[in-house]
Amino acid sequence: MSNKSKAVAPKGYRAEEYPPFAVTADIVMLTMRQGRLSVLLVARGEEPYKGEWALPGGFVRPEESCTEAAARELAEETGLDSFGGHLEQLQTFDDPVRDPRMRVVSVAYLAMLPDLPLPQAGSDAAGARWFAVDELAQENIGLAFDHAKILEAGLERVANKLEYTSLATCFVPEPFTITELRHVYEAVWGISLDPGNFRRKVLATPGFVQPTGDSAADRQGRPASLYTAGGETMLHPPILRS
Amino acid sequence: MSNKSKAVAPKGYRAEEYPPFAVTADIVMLTMRQGRLSVLLVARGEEPYKGEWALPGGFVRPEESCTEAAARELAEETGLDSFGGHLEQLQTFDDPVRDPRMRVVSVAYLAMLPDLPLPQAGSDAAGARWFAVDELAQENIGLAFDHAKILEAGLERVANKLEYTSLATCFVPEPFTITELRHVYEAVWGISLDPGNFRRKVLATPGFVQPTGDSAADRQGRPASLYTAGGETMLHPPILRS
DNA sequence: CCAAAAGTGTTTGATTTACACCCATGG
DNA sequence: CCATGGGTGTAAATCAAACACTTTTGG
């Protein structure tokens, strides 16, 4: 912040003469589709990286915060009036050469939402598609810019936050069963969890989920009780990745 | 990132015509002084907020990353050739009106280092001073810009990271005793920990600390064994804040 | 009645917590 | 020899992991 002119600064350096930086908000938007953790990507229509897949995002406008820019982009990409899911700042990527055109600092965001009807025509992103994240690795799909690094940071953040927050509820459409909630952990962590112990852990945490009183009768087997998210995303004792 | 020109964008909007953003790196630099968690602040020499205390920091230069900018500022403020402590990105603060002069996006960093001979003359920051963080709150010392929010985010990050990483070793000059290390946790968390149990926890974690074989004979009572940091900052089972 | 999934009980072992106790030094 | 802090031992309580078992539905 402090813009004091420094004795040690290079010849004639003054803040006002600095070449401009561009700032973008790029979004790692995750959901669960068919039991797999999936990320929304858009096909780039222009150079550089024309035709390659990239994270949705765009330039931050002068009068809006980066978070507002991310929410705006998200609404455009999903075709919804406003983005209702969870949105948090992830990390800022600022390698001076991450964009070949100019100096662009990217404030990356992490968004989570339950599986939706896909981004449709009329939205900004005709070329938008969900990719299962394991599919990306297997099929060696490269991402534009440093977006592979951004995605990796997002996946790591999600995996860690599941452990000690109730964030997993963002991925499941309400009302949900405890088993559906458990599938989120299993997909993100790539392991299986003991159904009984998981159930007890979640129900023993006040505020994690709220029973609706209803049951899901569509499946085979004993009908499962339905729950909604407890409210605010909260911290709690860890669900262990065993 | 994607700079596709959008149908929905405002009239005539093109990325190239965007008013420039300035980008700064601001640093929450923490140390332990006289058993208290302390933060380095500098007195602002110019408007706005002239005379008020602010976090050290400055504008990012076109050819350097924000991390490099932070490390450079840090070296200048501490008067050292290079900053040797721990430095990590904290969070980006981007409220459009956080700086009254222009649109400034601040990429905040968190730095930790053992108590040093104070920043001296010859350094950039003649007006730099350490403040115990509890003193700041008690004496109602306001910070310039949104630096109070940045500091708060830094303190929260440190408190959380102590729990599951070996970061505390950054705060103590080597070689250190287990008790000195425990004092870091006690100061940051504002609680007291059982000395015996703490000792066992740390020593049971491979790679947390390394015994030097020496003992500290300067204190009263039985001499304490001395240790150095185990190497890289690492994850480990939690030290519980009980 | 059987298969399948939900949900509960229970045993075993590990971890945490609290606190008593011994050790090594300076004064 | 005593005060002081370093360091170890240990029993009780709590928690996690594994897995057997009961419940409730559809076919």
What does strand D contact on the protein, if contact means CB under 7 A?
Answer: A 194, 196-197, 201, 215, 217, 220-223, 237-238, 240, 242; B 177-179, 195-197, 199-200, 215, 219-225
Select from B6, B18, B66 the Cβ nearest to the Cβ of A124. B6
- Mean pLDDT across chain B: 88
Q: What is the pLDDT of residue B123?
A: 52
- Report how far residue B156's alpha carbon sits from residue B160's, in angstroms, rounded to the nearest whole number: 6
Residue B5: predicted pLDDT:
35
| Letter string b/e over residues B54-91, b meaning 16 or more CB atoms within 10 A of that residue's CB | bbbbbbbbeeebbbebbbbbbbbbbbbeebebbbebbb
Residues 6+ apart with CB under 8 A from A137: none
- Cβ–Cβ < 8 Å for A109, A150: no
Residue A126: is its pLDDT beyond 70?
no
Distance separating alpha carbons of residues B50 and B69, to the nearest angstrom:
23
One-character DSSP codes across chain B? ---PPPTTSPTT--GGGPPPBEEEEEEEEEEEETTEEEEEEEE--SSSSTTSEE-SEEEPPTTS-HHHHHHHHHHHHHT-SS--SEEEEEEEE--TTSSSSS-EEEEEEEEE----SPP-TTSS-TTEEEEEHHHHHHTT--BSTTHHHHHHHHHHHHHHHHHHBSGGGGGSPSSB-HHHHHHHHHHHHTS---HHHHHHHHHHSTTSEEEEEEEE-SSSSSPEEEEEE-SS--B-SPPP--
A-B contacts (CB, under 8 Å):
142
Q: A173 preceded by cis ω (within 30°)?
A: no
Query: What was the pLDDT predicted at B219?
Result: 82
d(CA A149, CA A153): 6
Are the Cβ atoms of B65 and A105 closer than 8 angstroms? no
Q: What is the 8-class DSSP label of residue A101?
A: S
Query: What is the pairing mode between strands A22-33 and A104-112?
Result: parallel
Q: How far apart are CA B242 and CA B237, in angstroms?
A: 15
Question: For residues B171 and B101, what is the distance between their CA atoms, to the nearest angstrom?
Answer: 36
CA distance B57 to B107: 10
- Which residues of chain B, if any, have pLDDT below 50? 1-13, 15, 121-122
pLDDT of residue A82: 78
Side-chain half-sphere of B1: how many Cα atoms within 13 Å? 36
- The reported pTM is 0.90
The yes-or-no verdict on residue A196 having pLDDT over 50 is: yes
- Pull the structure tokens for residue B119: 């920043």
Name the residue closest to C6, CA to C1': A222
Alpha carbons within 13 A on the beta-carbon side of A226 = 13
pLDDT in tens, A3-57: 333 333 333 345 455 568 999 999 999 999 999 999 999 999 888 999 999 999 9
Tens digits of residue pLDDT in B20-58: 799 999 999 999 999 999 999 999 988 899 999 999 999
Q: Residue B226, CA: closest nucleotide via C1'?
A: D6
3-class secondary structure, A69: helix
* A50 is near strand C: CB distance < 7 Å: no
Residue B218 approaches strand C within 7 Å at CB: no
The predicted pLDDT at position B115 comes to: 85
Residue with tokens 């858009």: A42
Cα distances (angstroms) measured from residue A99 to each of A23, A153, A192: 11, 18, 40
Least confident of A158-172, A221-235, B27-41, B228-242: B228-242
Across chain A, mean pLDDT equals 88
Instruction: List pLDDT tens digits, range A56-86.
Output: 999 999 999 999 999 999 888 777 777 888 9
B78 versus A117: which is more confidently predicted?
A: B78
Interface contact flag, B46 A76, Cβ < 8 Å: no
State percent of chain A over pLDDT 90.
73
Residue in A10, A58, A94 nearest the CB of B66: A94
The pLDDT value given to residue B143:
96
CA dihedral over A241, A202, A110, A192, signed as positive or negative:
positive
Q: Which SS3 state, helix, strand or coil, does residue A167 take? A: helix
Give the Å distances, CA to CA, from B38 to A99, A198, B79, B132.
Answer: 38, 41, 18, 4
Residue range A106-113: average pLDDT? 97
pLDDT band at A117 (very low <50, low <70, confident <90, very high): low
Give the confidence band of A124 by pLDDT, cuts at 50, 70, 90. Answer: low
pLDDT at position B145: 96
Confidence of residue A127 (pLDDT cuts 50, 70, 90): confident
User: Which positions in chain B touch A99 (Cβ < 8 Å)?
Assistant: 1
Q: What are the residues whose beta carbons fall under 8 Å from the beta carbon of B64, sequence distance 6 or more? A: A96, B72
